[in-house]
Amino acid sequence: MIVTLPKCVSDVKFRTNINNRHSITQEPEIKITDLKVAIIGEAPVVRIQTDEGIDGIGAGESKKPFLKPHVEFYHDKIIGLDPTDIERVMLGIRRMGSFKPWGTAVSAIEMALWDIAGKSAGLPVYKLLGGKVRERVMVYNGGVRFELKGKEPEHYAETMQKMKEHPYKFRIIKHGVSFHGGMQNVDHGGMQDVQDFYYGSPVKAMRHPNRGVITGKGFKYMMKRIEAMLDVLGDDVGLALDCGPGMTVQDALKLAKELEGSNIMWLEDMITGDYTPWVLADLYTQVTPYTSTPIHTGEQIYLRQNFVELIERNAVNVLGPDVADVGGIAEMKFIAEYADLHGIQFAPHGLFNGLIGLAAQVHLAAVLPDNFIAFELPKVDPKWWYHIMEGDTFSVEDGHISVTDTPGLGVKFIPEETKKYLREEDKDFFNE
Ligand SMILES: [Mg+2]
CA 299 to centroid of ligand 1, rounded, Å? 6
CA 63 to centroid of ligand 1, rounded, Å? 14
CA 310 to centroid of ligand 1, rounded, Å? 17
Give pLDDT tens digits for 73-98. Answer: 999 999 999 999 999 999 999 999 99
Q: Is the pLDDT of residue 64 over 80?
A: yes
What average pLDDT does range 196-205 have in this prediction? 83
CA 49 to centroid of ligand 1, rounded, Å? 33
CA 174 to centroid of ligand 1, rounded, Å? 9
Per the structure, the complete domain to which residue 299 belongs is given by 130-409
What average pLDDT does range 230-258 have in this prediction? 97
CA 350 to centroid of ligand 1, rounded, Å? 9
Reported confidence tier of residue 194, pLDDT bands at 50, 70, 90: low
What average pLDDT does range 105-131 have in this prediction? 98
CA 327 to centroid of ligand 1, rounded, Å? 17
CA 130 to centroid of ligand 1, rounded, Å? 29
**Residue 18, domain member (yes or no):** no
- Looking at the DSSP bridge assignments, the partners of residue 389 are 413
Helix 86-93 with 104-121: angle, nearest 10 deg: 160
Number of domains in the chain: 1
- pLDDT at site 201: 81
CA 273 to centroid of ligand 1, rounded, Å? 7
Give pLDDT tens digits for 360-397. Answer: 999 999 999 999 999 999 999 999 999 999 998 889 99
CA 6 to centroid of ligand 1, rounded, Å? 41
CA 50 to centroid of ligand 1, rounded, Å? 36
**Residue 189, domain member (yes or no):** yes
**Residue 141, domain member (yes or no):** yes
For the ranges 161-175, 181-195, 375-389, 403-417, the lowest mean pLDDT is seen at: 181-195
CA 269 to centroid of ligand 1, rounded, Å? 6
- pLDDT at site 37: 98
CA 297 to centroid of ligand 1, rounded, Å? 8
**Residue 278, domain member (yes or no):** yes
- pLDDT at site 155: 95
Q: Is the pLDDT of residue 116 over 60?
A: yes
CA 110 to centroid of ligand 1, rounded, Å? 23
CA 95 to centroid of ligand 1, rounded, Å? 25
* Whole-prediction pTM: 0.92
- pLDDT at site 27: 85
- pLDDT at site 11: 42
Q: What percent of the chain has pLDDT over 70?
A: 92
**Residue 114, domain member (yes or no):** no
CA 245 to centroid of ligand 1, rounded, Å? 9
Find the CATH number of the domain harbouring 141: 3.20.20.120
What average pLDDT does range 162-175 have in this prediction? 98
**Residue 309, domain member (yes or no):** yes
CA 267 to centroid of ligand 1, rounded, Å? 10
CA 175 to centroid of ligand 1, rounded, Å? 9
CA 424 to centroid of ligand 1, rounded, Å? 34
- pLDDT at site 379: 94
Residues, Cβ < 5 Å to ion ligand 1: 242, 274
Q: What percent of the chain has pLDDT over 90?
A: 84
Reported confidence tier of residue 345, pLDDT bands at 50, 70, 90: very high
**Residue 275, domain member (yes or no):** yes
What average pLDDT does range 290-318 have in this prediction? 98
Closest CA to 172 of 348, 373, 380, 321: 373
| Mean confidence (pLDDT) of the chain | 92
**Residue 13, domain member (yes or no):** no
Reported confidence tier of residue 156, pLDDT bands at 50, 70, 90: very high
Give pLDDT tens digits for 9-57. Answer: 444 444 444 444 444 557 889 999 999 999 999 999 999 999 999 999 9
CA 282 to centroid of ligand 1, rounded, Å? 20
